[in-house]
Chains A and B, each alone.
Chain A
Amino acid sequence: MLGSAVVVFRETLEAALIVAIVMGASRGVAGRGRWIAGGVVLGIAGALIVAAFAGAIAEAVQGRGQEIFNATVLLVAVAMLAWHNVWMSSHARKHVAEMRHLGHDVSVGAKPMSAMLAVTALAVLREGAETVLFLYGLIASGGTAGLLLGGILGLIGGAGIGVLLYFGLLRVPLRHFFTVTGIVVLLLAAGLASSAAGYLVQAGLLPPLIDQVWNSSGVLSSASFVGRMLHVLIGYNDRPTGIELLFYVATLVTIVSLMRIVGARATRDAREQAAKQGAPA
């Protein structure tokens, strides 16, 4: 029972942490619960489909299908997170002001929320498919009720950590809130991009460049609980390859640059707007 709880816990943890971050980053948005719940439902449906076709996916593209699929899912999620952060860099100030002024959630339009729905669905789909395969294996090999109960406990445990992260994020004062979630989303995106690079190396589609840039497994192993948490949250890797590090840094630099450019333009527009309004008076 413990064994199955641990496996399901691990698989659920990554999706739960990502959902928690998405919930945090979309704070104050009217109807976000519905969007994110929709993402979870779509993700579960997708996970069932992916699990059903796991064999076909694995055999596709000369046995590289699974890696290409995982890398694609990860990179789409990275693009969505990047887009959300860039959007927030020009809207965050106004968003917080409206939240304060109205005293309730703000309607932001469907665009930023559809990106967050996609991120949620992709996270649940990827980790969910592995959970479904594992549970299928348990049932197929005549798993006992205890094993299934373990699976359910693992699921609850993983989701629980996600809930803890979300409430932890909420403790950040509103003034700094979107700066903090922006950084969290940025590091999450960079970590997912480096995982995508890892899959592409495994498929033989990218060279590792450097086999091992450093080895910090003695200090903090990627296999440990804290290591796994940090792997999801900031992309911690105890033995990264050169290409994984390159993807990480390139993603950070790209998103930060886009945020700066868009943020600076928004500030300038706001100033011009203020100058125009101020002129007649």
Chain B
Amino acid sequence: MQVQQGLLSLALLVPLGAIAQTLEFSLTIKNHRFVPPELTVPAGKKLKLVIDNQDATPEEFESHALRLEKVIPGRSKGSLKLGPLKPGRYGFVGEFHESTAKGTLLAK
């Protein structure tokens, strides 16, 4: 009984906690470039990154440093969860247009 209550409160608390702490940031892809090319985010917090691909063509957001990989179809948005991050610089690219689509996430 106690275990059940514990699990129930855990199930209720975890998502609430996650919503309360998650900070949202957005990034735009235009002409196969990231805007802004450098995005500053707080370190040690859970983050949600919304990527708005305004190009007509799909892009694959990829970061080895952040271990993220997501295809964002043309003229659509994609979101991903990350963090909490240690302070530092984390590079990312648009894999389909790597020569122009480069950016950095700066966690402070």
Contacts and interface: CB of A to CB of B under 8 A. Distances in A.
Interface of A: 3, 6-7, 10, 54-55, 58-59, 63, 66-67, 130, 133-134, 136-138, 140-141, 198, 201-204, 211-212, 217, 221-223, 237-239, 241, 244
Contacts of B99: 3
Interface stretch (B5-13, B34-42, B57-65): B57-65
B18 A204 contact: yes
Given A137-B96, A241-B67, A66 B78 contact: yes
Given A58-B73, A140-B74, A204-B81, 11 more contacts: A7-B98, A54-B71, A58-B71, A58-B72, A66-B71, A67-B80, A134-B60, A137-B58, A203-B80, A211-B84, A217-B65
Interface residues of A: mostly helix, strand, loop or mixed? helix
A66 B98 contact: no
A66 B60 CA distance: 12
A6 B77 CA distance: 26
Interface of B: 18, 48, 56-60, 64-65, 67-74, 76-86, 95-96, 98-99
Which 6 pairs between the two chains have the least Cβ-Cβ distance?
A137-B57, A204-B81, A55-B73, A133-B58, A223-B64, A54-B73
Nearest to A141: B57
- Residue of B18, B81, B84 with most chain A CB atoms under a 10 A cut-off: B81
A59 B76 contact: yes
A204 B69 CA distance: 14
Contacts of A10: 95
Contacts of B57: 136-138, 140-141
A211 B77 CA distance: 26
Contacts of B18: 204
A66 B80 CA distance: 10
Given A7-B95, A66-B78, A211-B84, A130 B71 contact: yes
30 contacts: A3-B99, A6-B98, A7-B95, A10-B95, A54-B73, A55-B73, A55-B76, A58-B72, A59-B76, A66-B78, A67-B80, A133-B71, A133-B73, A134-B96, A136-B57, A137-B57, A137-B74, A137-B96, A141-B57, A201-B67, A202-B68, A202-B80, A202-B82, A203-B80, A204-B48, A211-B83, A211-B84, A212-B86, A217-B64, A239-B64
A140 B56 contact: yes
Contacts of B58: 54, 133-134, 136-137
Contact of B81 (A54, A141, A203): A203
Nearest to B95: A7
B68 A3 contact: no
A221 B84 CA distance: 22
A222 B64 contact: yes
A74 to B, nearest CB: 12
Given A137-B57, A140-B57, A198 B67 contact: yes
Contacts of B64: 217, 221-223, 238-239
A239 B65 contact: yes
A64 to B, nearest CB: 8
Contact of B86 (A7, A133, A202, A211): A211
Contact of B56 (A67, A141, A241): A141
Contacts of B73: 54-55, 58, 133
- Residue of A134, A238, A244 with most chain B CB atoms under a 10 A cut-off: A134
A202 B18 CA distance: 14
A217 to B, nearest CB: 7
A136 B64 CA distance: 24
Nearest to B82: A202
B98 A239 contact: no
Contacts of B83: 211
